[in-house]
Amino acid sequence: MSDKYQSFTASPIGKLLVKNLGLPAPMKLDRYTEGAPLVDGTVVVGGRGRLAESLPGLLDTLGIASTEVAEEGATYKGLVFDATGITGSADLVALRDFFTPLLRSLDRCPRLVVLGTPPELLEGGERVAQRALEGFTRSLGKEIGRGGTVQLVYVAEGAEAATASTLGFLLSPKSAYVSGQVVRIGATGSVKAPAVQDWQRPLTGKVALVTGASRGIGEQIARVLHRDGATVLGVDVPQAASELQVVMKEIDGDWLTLDITAADAPQRIAHHLKEKHGGVDVVVHNAGITRDKKLANMQEDRWDSVIAVNLTAPERITRELLDQGVVNPNGAIVGVASIAGIAGNVGQTNYAASKAGVIGFVDSLAGELEDGITINAVAPGFIITAMTAAVPFATREVGQRLNAMSQGGLPVDVAETIAWYANPGSSAVNGNVVRVCGQMMLGA
């Protein structure tokens, strides 16, 4: 679905109006194409922390060219600054010293990453300074423009070698609609990351379960996980059987039709995975519904159905898969939350409660899982789908423009974020909630 406003602002008259009226000017975002290099250009690395020395080698492993010395007149696709050496507020000037001279040397759709230490693991002035990095990165994300993104990655001591998959995601077009986010690596104690044999197809030999896989975001999740090498089991309601089968046949996947809220759904899914696939490596709880009404007019069935599909079913399915040992060691569980679960939304008390519950689900399990299994969530913002296309024009336009990129995201943006979580190299990424929202201008 094309963004008509974006097309208009690229026209001669549109450019004139944008300049004279100060209108939003969304840039066409770079997005990843299968087989392309992760970064089409060079990344400048800097800083004096505990990751600085290893950064060039980590990027080289991913096929990303880097330099520690910027050349006058050159343009760069990304910047990575190791801020783990900042131990007090006076040291924060190092951020200005590194970024300010380079910001005018950036190519279109640049990617900027700051690396720090989780403040909760520190004390005193060092904790203060590391927490300050969040304000810096989120503000720079709203300044950078031209389709650029800015992220903060807190790396726990001992987890330095487990940062490659995260750097590969955040420096590449795969993170096109992710900005202003804070990612924690190794903060929950899991710091080992299995070796990734093929960064182009890191999920080769893995099995992925995706609920709600017949269309929209779920379909794109299935396709991206397949692209990365996974065998996908798509699950959807019987009414969507024909669409589900078409998608799964196209990606050589498997399918199962059922109502995930049914009493026997968790057992049926677990049985199918054990009998046909010998287990599962990636579990994506994507299925979700809306039944919007203001709370004063909210009927019981509207409330119950949303909570049942969006929250209770993922809880029950996950518990069954874990209890039966169906999730393989180093597996990944991913919940799909929503910006509504973070900021709330008029007419969506049921939906927002369910999606905030998904975040609570991640929090509750992150410290309990064993055998290297992780759990994380994505929280999509305004994603352009058939559902949002039906939203009234004015509401839709406002929803798309109230972020740092002045545009809506695509289903593939959510899928790429989930594929990063699913990557075996991300096994030290646990307990995170990353918003795929273009960085909302109001709030974080």
Strand partners, 155: 185
Report how far residue 66's alpha carbon sits from residue 9's, in angstroms, rounded to the nearest whole number. Answer: 34
The domain 31-185: what is its CATH number?
Answer: 3.40.50.720
User: Do residues 45 and 56 lie in contact, with contact meaning Cβ atoms separated by under 8 Å?
Assistant: yes
Sequence-distant (6+) residues with CB within 8 A of 58 are 163, 164, 167
Among residues 295, 314, 320, 437, which one has the least CA distance to residue 375? 314
pLDDT of residue 393: 74
| Backbone angles phi and psi of 22, in degrees to 5 | 70, 35
Residue for token pair 């393989």: 328
Nearest 5 degrees, angle CA 131-CA 122-CA 433? 55
Contacts of 386 (CB under 8 A, 6+ apart): 215, 216
Residues taking part in catalysis: 351
Q: Out of 1.25.40.10, 3.40.50.720, 3.40.50.460, 3.40.50.2000, which CATH number does the structure's domain 207-436 have?
A: 3.40.50.720
Burial code (b: 16+ CB inside 10 Å, e: under 16) for 35-69 equals eeebbebbbbbbbebbbbeebbebbeebebbbeee
Strands across the sheet containing 65-67: 65-67, 42-47, 76-82, 106-116, 149-155, 181-185
Give one DSSP letter per residue of 275-333, joined into a string: HHHSSEEEEEE---------GGG--HHHHHHHHIIIIIHHHHHHHHHHHTT-EEEEEEE
pTM (two decimals) = 0.95
Please, are residues 295 and 302 in contact by the beta-carbon 8 Å criterion? no
Fold match between domain 31-185 and domain 207-436 = yes
DSSP conformation class of 404: T
124, 116, 198: which is closest to 157 by C-alpha? 116
DSSP 398: H
Domain ranges of the chain: 31-185, 207-436
Mind listing the pLDDT tens digit of every residue in the chain (444 residues)? 667 777 777 888 877 777 787 777 788 999 999 999 999 999 999 999 999 999 999 999 999 999 999 999 999 999 999 999 999 999 999 999 999 999 999 999 999 999 999 999 999 999 999 999 999 999 999 999 999 999 999 999 999 999 999 999 999 999 999 999 999 999 887 677 778 889 999 999 999 999 999 999 999 999 999 999 999 999 999 999 999 999 999 999 999 999 999 999 999 999 999 999 999 999 999 999 999 999 999 999 999 999 999 999 999 999 999 999 999 999 999 999 999 999 998 999 999 999 999 999 999 999 999 999 999 999 999 998 877 776 777 777 777 888 999 999 999 999 999 999 999 999 999 999 999 999 987 655
Residues in the chain: 444
